[in-house]
Amino acid sequence: MGIKSLEIVISGVGGQGNVRGAQMLGAAAVKAGFMVRVSDVFGIAQRGGPVLSHVRIGEVYGTMVSAHSADVVVGLEPMEALRAVSAFLKPGGTVAMSTRPIYPVEVNTGKAAYPKMEAILEAIRVATSRIITLDATEVAQSAGIPMAANVVMLGVIAGTGILPFSADYLREAVREYIPRSIEENMVAFESGLKIGESYMNPRT
Amino acid sequence: MMPNVVAKDSPGARHLLLGNEAVARGAIEHNVEIAAAYPGTPSSEIVETLAEVADDVGMHVQWSTNEKVAFEVAIGGAICGKRSLASMKHIGANWIMDPLMHAVYHGFDAGLILISADDPSGHSSANEQDNRYMALLAEIPAIEPSDFQEAKDYVGHALTVSEEIRLPVMLRLVTRICHSRGDCIFGEIHREKRQPKFSDDYYRDFVLGEGIVGPKVIPKMHRTQHEKLKRVEGVAARLGLFNSEKPERPIGDLGVIASSAPVGYVLDSLTGRGIRDKVGFLKLGLSNPFPEETVSDFISGFDKILVVEEGEPFIERHLDALVKRVNPALKIFGKLSSHLPREGELNFSLVDDALAVLLGLERRSPPAEKLRLTEAASALLTPRTLTMCAGCPHRAAYYAAKKATRNVANARYIAIGDIGCYTLGMYPPLRFMQDVFCMGSSIGIANGIAKAGIADPVIATIGDSTFYHAGIPALINATFNQANVKVMVLDNEVTAMTGYQPHPGCGQTATLKPTKNVMIENLCGACGIDFVRIVDPYDFNSSVKAMEDAIKFNGPAVVIFRRLCAQEYLRKARRQGIRISKYRVDPEKCIGCRTCVAAFGCPAIGFDREKKKSFVVTLDCAGCGVCTAVCPQGAFVLEEGS
C-alpha cells in the first residue's frame, strides 16, 4: 500500500446513485487489496433528501471521514457538493462536481433561492483551487444512459490519477454492481475518465 | 448489486460487505436454519439478504407480523434443535420483552440469537435507547462486533455461547456497523439440515406437583440462569471476544476500553497520532455479563481508564462498580465524566479530542480557510426538508381528510400518527397530525383521547404494515369500549419505508412464495367495526366523501385509503414498459394562488416567482393526477401525447 489512507466523500441527492457509487468505489479498492470502510448517511426520506457517502481506503478503521480531512469530494449535485466541501474537504483537496442542480422543495415552492453556480464555486475556492466541473448527467446522456452520472463521476476521479489503484478495478466493479445497460455504463465511465485525465493534463 | 455473493462457497474470498450482509453471511456459514424479522432501519438488510438466498442455502426465512412474533418463531426453531435468529431494530425489540423474559428460564439444544440494531442519534428512529440494558434486565449475554469481519464471525461466536450456556444471546449492533461497508473475509459454509427434535430444559427440569409457577419453581430456575451466566466470560475469552494490548510503559498511564463501532475511532486516533503501541487498549466483544476478570486484569497498572462505547455509559457504570471494589484510586473517564457526550452517536473527532485531553496532546482544530468557507457556505445552503415522494398516495389521503374536516368539523380535529412514511404527514405543508408515538399506538392513544372527552373528531392514521403489526388489538378495543375514533388506514400495499418488504396483505412471503392475502377490511369487520370504507386516494372526491361520512358516523369507523406506493408503482412500470401519463400547468388558467405548492406540496410542482405561475417538474411527475383536483382553477392538464 503506497498510501496511509485516501479519504473520499460523495455527496448528492437521494435517487442519484450516491450509495451505489460509493459501493463500487469501495469494492474496487477491496479488489485492489486495500482495507476499506464505506458509510452512507441519509435521512428517512426515500427520495430528494441529501445523501453523503464516506469512502476510506488504506489503513482505516472507523467508517466515516472526519471533519476537514477528505482528500476528495465528489459532488453529484452542486449545492450538496458545497455542503460536503464545507464540512469535509481538506484544504487543497480535490473537488469533482456535477453542475446540474436538483432543486429542493424550498426552492421549487419559491421559499428559498438556489445559489448561483458562480457563488458556489467562489465559496469552494476558499478551500481549494483543484476543482473539476462537468454536467455529469449530460455526459451520461451522451453515453446513452442519463441515470449513470454516478458512474461518470467515478470515471472522473479515476482519470485524475488520485486513486491508489488501476482504473481496471473500477471497471470490474461497475460491471459487477450495475444490473443492466452495462455497455452504456462502461461508455459513461470512459467518458468521465477522459474528463478527469484532461483536467490533470490540460492541452494548451 | 452482487446478488447472492453472501451465499457463495468461497472461503478466503474477500468482499466489501454491508455490516448487515456480513451478519447474514455469518448466519449462513454457521448453519442458522430459521431467521425471522420485522423490518426496521437499520436492521432490515439482514433478513432481506437471507431471504434472497434462503432456498439456495436451505434456511427458513420470514418477515413476521411483528418483532414479538419473529422472536417467538426463533424460540420455536431453537426449541426444536435448529439454530435460529430474530432480528430487529432497537425499538422493535421493546415488543419482545415478554417472550424474552420467559425464554431465559428455558434452555435449548440449538443456538438462539436476538439481533438488536441500535440507532444512536436516531438517524431513522424516534429514540436512542441502548438495548444492552435489555440484555442486563433479561440476564442474557450481549455480544458486540466492532467491524465487518466481526459482524460475520461473532454470529458464530454468539451461537457457540448460546449453545454452551443454554441461553439466548443478544448480538448488539449499531447503525454504523449495520449501514456501513467494510472488507470481510469469508469462512467456510457449514450447512446441515438438523432433524427437528423438541427439547427444553424447562420441560426436563419440570417436577410434577411443583407447578409451573410459584416459589418452588421460579427461584430455582432463576438460580440456574445465574449459574449459567457465571460461565459466559470463560467461553467468551476462549472464543477471542477480548483483545487486550498493554504496553510496557503506557503514556499518560492511560488505558482505553472500547466496544462496538467506536473501536474504529480509537484505532484511527491512536494510529493517526503514532501512539498505537503506547496506549493500553482493551476491546470488549462481550459487554453483558460484565467480564470482570478480563477487565480487572487489564486495568491493573493504569491510573486512568477511558471508556469509549456507543449508547449509554453501560461498560462505564459496570467498571465504576468494579473499581470501587478492586482499585478505588483508579480514575474513570468517559460519558459520565463528560469527556464524551452522553447523547448522540460518537465519531472520530469526539474520541480523538477526549484522548488528546487525557494524554495532554494537542487537539485538532478546523483550518482557518475552512472556517471562512463554512461561513460563506452557510449563506448559500438551503436545507432539503423531508417530504413524501411525488405521487405519494398518503399526501392525497391527508389532503382529502383535511378537506373533509373543513367541510364537516370546522377544520377542528385531533389526529395521532403512527410509524411509517406517512409519519411525514406531520411536516409542512400538510401538518395533518398533531402527535405521534410508536408502532401501532395511534389507534390506542386515539381511544384514550376519545374517552377523555374531546368533542372534536379523533383521528388515528396508520399504515398497512403497521396495522398488521400492532393496530388490531387497539381497534378491537375501540369496538369493545365504544371509542368514537376515526381510523385512516394508509394502505400502500407494501412496507415502504424500510425498503418495500412484503406484509400479510401482499399475497407473497419474504422468499416470494405466494400466500394467502389477509385483507384489512375483513380484519376491521371481524374487529366489530360497522363503518368500513375503501377508497382510492387518487380519487379525491370519493376520498373526501368517505372521510366526511366516517366523521359523521356515530362510533368507531375505518377508512382504508388503498393505492400502491408510487415508488413501487414506478419501478413496476419501468420493468413492464408502462408509460406514465404526466401533467403540466396551463399558464392561461394558473392564477398563481400557490394552493398546489403551499397547501398540497407535491415535490414535482414548482412555483416560478417571476411569472407567478406554477409549473410541473416533468421528470419528477409520477402521473397521479391528484393536482387536477387540488387546483381550484383546473390548471393542471395532461401533457400532450400522454
pLDDT digits 0-9 by tens, B63-81: 999 999 999 999 999 999 9
E strands present in B59-133:
60-63, 84-89, 112-118
Q: A20, A36, A68, A89: which to substitute to probe chain B, counting the most B Cβ within 10 Å?
A: A68
Mean pLDDT of A96-115: 89
Task: Answer yes or no: is pLDDT of B642 > 70.
Answer: no
pLDDT of res. A204: 47
Q: Quickly state the pLDDT bin for A104 (edges 50, 70, 90).
A: confident
A44 touches chain B (CB under 8 A): yes
Please list every residue in chain B whose beta carbon sits closer than 8 Å to the beta carbon of residue A83.
377, 381
Chain-chain contact of B183 with A30 (C-beta, under 8 angstroms): yes
Do you find a cis peptide bond into B587, omega within 30 degrees of 0? no
| Closest to B315 in 3D by CA, of B96, B499, B183, B130 | B130
| Closest to B257 in 3D by CA, of B313, B304, B185, B306 | B306
Domain B393-573 shares a fold with domain B579-638: no
Distance of CA B529 to the CA centre of its chain: 31
Chain-chain contact of B386 with A43 (C-beta, under 8 angstroms): yes
Please list every residue in chain A whose beta carbon sits closer than 8 Å to the beta carbon of residue B261.
62-63
A202 touches chain B (CB under 8 A): no
**Residue count of chain A:** 204
CATH superfamily of B393-573: Thiamin diphosphate (ThDP)-binding fold, Pyr/PP domains (3.40.50.970)
A60 touches chain B (CB under 8 A): yes
* Cβ under 8 Å to B: A residues 3-22: 13
Say which CATH architecture domain B242-359 belongs to. Answer: 3-Layer(aba) Sandwich (3.40)
Which among B183, B369, B608 has CB closest to A126? B369
- In 10 A of CB B289, how many CB atoms? 21
pLDDT of res. B582: 96
Please list every residue in chain A whose beta carbon sits closer than 8 Å to the beta carbon of residue B598.
109
Chain-chain contact of B179 with A119 (C-beta, under 8 angstroms): no
Please list every residue in chain B whose beta carbon sits closer than 8 Å to the beta carbon of residue A103.
606, 617
B575 touches chain A (CB under 8 A): no
* Cβ under 8 Å to A: B residues 314-353: 347-349, 352
More confident: A110 or B242: B242
Task: Answer yes or no: is pLDDT of A44 > 70.
Answer: no
Sign of CA dihedral B470, B476, B482, B484: positive
Please list every residue in chain A whose beta carbon sits closer than 8 Å to the beta carbon of residue B181.
23, 26, 36-39, 63
Chain-chain contact of A83 with B381 (C-beta, under 8 angstroms): yes
Please list every residue in chain A whose beta carbon sits closer than 8 Å to the beta carbon of residue B387.
45, 48, 105
Please list every residue in chain B whose beta carbon sits closer than 8 Å to the beta carbon of residue A47.
389-390, 567, 603
CA angle (B633, B637, B640) in 5-degree steps:
155
Task: Answer yes or no: is pLDDT of A2 > 50.
Answer: no
Q: A7, A44, A56: which to substitute to probe chain B, counting the most B Cβ within 10 Å?
A: A44
Please list every residue in chain B whose beta carbon sits closer than 8 Å to the beta carbon of residue A179.
1
Chain-chain contact of B181 with A68 (C-beta, under 8 angstroms): no
* Cβ under 8 Å to A: B residues 251-290: 261, 263-268, 271
**d(C-alpha B185, C-alpha B327), whole Å:** 40
Write the DSSP symbol of residue B424: G
Mean pLDDT of B492-503: 93
Please list every residue in chain A whose beta carbon sits closer than 8 Å to the beta carbon of residue B281.
none
Per-residue pLDDT of B251-292, as tens digits, reads 999 999 999 999 999 999 999 999 999 999 999 999 999 999
- B292-299 vs B232-239: helix crossing angle, rounded to 10: 60
Residue showing cell 453529484: A76
pTM: 0.96
Please list every residue in chain B whose beta carbon sits closer than 8 Å to the beta carbon of residue A109.
594, 597-598, 601, 606-607
* Cβ under 8 Å to A: B residues 372-411: 372-374, 376-378, 380-387, 389-390
Please list every residue in chain B whose beta carbon sits closer than 8 Å to the beta carbon of residue A126.
369, 372-373, 376
The H or E element that residue B460 is part of is: strand B458-463
**d(C-alpha B157, C-alpha B238), whole Å:** 10
Which chain B residue has the Cα nearest residue A12?
B384
CATH superfamily of A5-136+160-176: Pyruvate-ferredoxin oxidoreductase, PFOR, domain III (3.40.920.10)
Please list every residue in chain A whose beta carbon sits closer than 8 Å to the beta carbon of residue B179.
39-40
Task: Answer yes or no: is pLDDT of B148 > 60.
Answer: yes
| Closest to B548 in 3D by CA, of B417, B400, B416, B430 | B400
A39 touches chain B (CB under 8 A): yes
Task: Answer yes or no: is pLDDT of A46 > 90.
Answer: no
Task: Answer yes or no: is pLDDT of B392 > 90.
Answer: yes
pLDDT of res. B207: 66
Q: Quickly state the pLDDT bin for A203 (edges 50, 70, 90).
A: low
Q: Which are the contacts of B150, defined by CB distance < 8 A and separation ≥ 6?
A: B285
Please list every residue in chain B whose beta carbon sits closer than 8 Å to the beta carbon of residue A185.
none
Per-residue pLDDT of B304-358, as tens digits, reads 999 999 999 999 999 999 999 999 999 999 999 999 999 999 999 999 999 999 9
More confident: A179 or B629: B629
Which chain B residue has the Cα nearest residue A57?
B182
pLDDT of res. B401: 98
Per-residue pLDDT of B199-235, as tens digits, reads 988 777 666 667 778 888 889 889 999 999 999 999 9
* Cβ under 8 Å to B: A residues 96-135: 103-110, 112-115, 119-120, 122-124, 126-127
* Cβ under 8 Å to B: A residues 155-174: none
Residue showing cell 403551499: B598
Which percentage of chain B shows pLDDT scores above 90?
Answer: 91
A89 touches chain B (CB under 8 A): yes
Chain-chain contact of B377 with A83 (C-beta, under 8 angstroms): yes
* Cβ under 8 Å to A: B residues 423-482: 424
Per-residue pLDDT of A117-148, as tens digits, reads 999 999 999 999 999 999 999 999 999 999 99
Per-residue pLDDT of B95-132, as tens digits, reads 999 999 999 999 999 999 999 999 999 999 999 999 99
CA angle (B477, B482, B484) in 5-degree steps:
105
Measure A13 CA to nearest chain B CA, in Å.
9
Task: Answer yes or no: is pLDDT of A95 > 80.
Answer: yes
pLDDT of res. A14: 87
Q: Quickly state the pLDDT bin for B247 (edges 50, 70, 90).
A: very high
Which percentage of chain B shows pLDDT scores above 70?
Answer: 99
Which among A35, A40, A82 has CB closest to B183? A35
More confident: B481 or A1: B481
Task: Answer yes or no: is pLDDT of B244 > 60.
Answer: yes
Please list every residue in chain A whose beta carbon sits closer than 8 Å to the beta carbon of residue B571.
none
* Cβ under 8 Å to B: A residues 67-86: 67-68, 79, 82-83, 85-86
Please list every residue in chain A whose beta carbon sits closer than 8 Å to the beta carbon of residue B424.
45
Q: Quickly state the pLDDT bin for B1 (edges 50, 70, 90).
A: very low
- CATH T-level fold of B579-638: Alpha-Beta Plaits (3.30.70)
pLDDT of res. A202: 72
Task: Answer yes or no: is pLDDT of A193 > 50.
Answer: yes
pLDDT of res. B591: 97
Chain-chain contact of A63 with B264 (C-beta, under 8 angstroms): yes
E strands present in B12-131:
14-18, 34-37, 60-63, 84-89, 112-118
Which among B179, B373, B386 has CB closest to A44? B386
Say which CATH architecture domain B5-235 belongs to. Answer: 3-Layer(aba) Sandwich (3.40)
Count each helix (H run) and each strand (E run) in chain B, helices first: 23, 24
pLDDT of res. B208: 65
pLDDT of res. B269: 97
Please list every residue in chain B whose beta carbon sits closer than 8 Å to the beta carbon of residue A32.
none
Window from A102-111, B31-40, B452-461 with minimum mean pLDDT: A102-111
Chain-chain contact of A62 with B267 (C-beta, under 8 angstroms): yes
Measure A147 CA to nearest chain B CA, in Å.
12
Sign of CA dihedral A9, A11, A14, A20: negative
How many Cβ contacts (< 8 angstroms) between chains A and B? Answer: 179
Which chain B residue has the Cα nearest residue A42?
B123
For residue B54, the SS3 value is helix
Task: Answer yes or no: is pLDDT of A34 > 70.
Answer: yes
Task: Answer yes or no: is pLDDT of A156 > 70.
Answer: yes
Residues B124 and A44: beta-carbon distance below 8 Å = yes
**Biggest CA pair distance of chain A:** 50
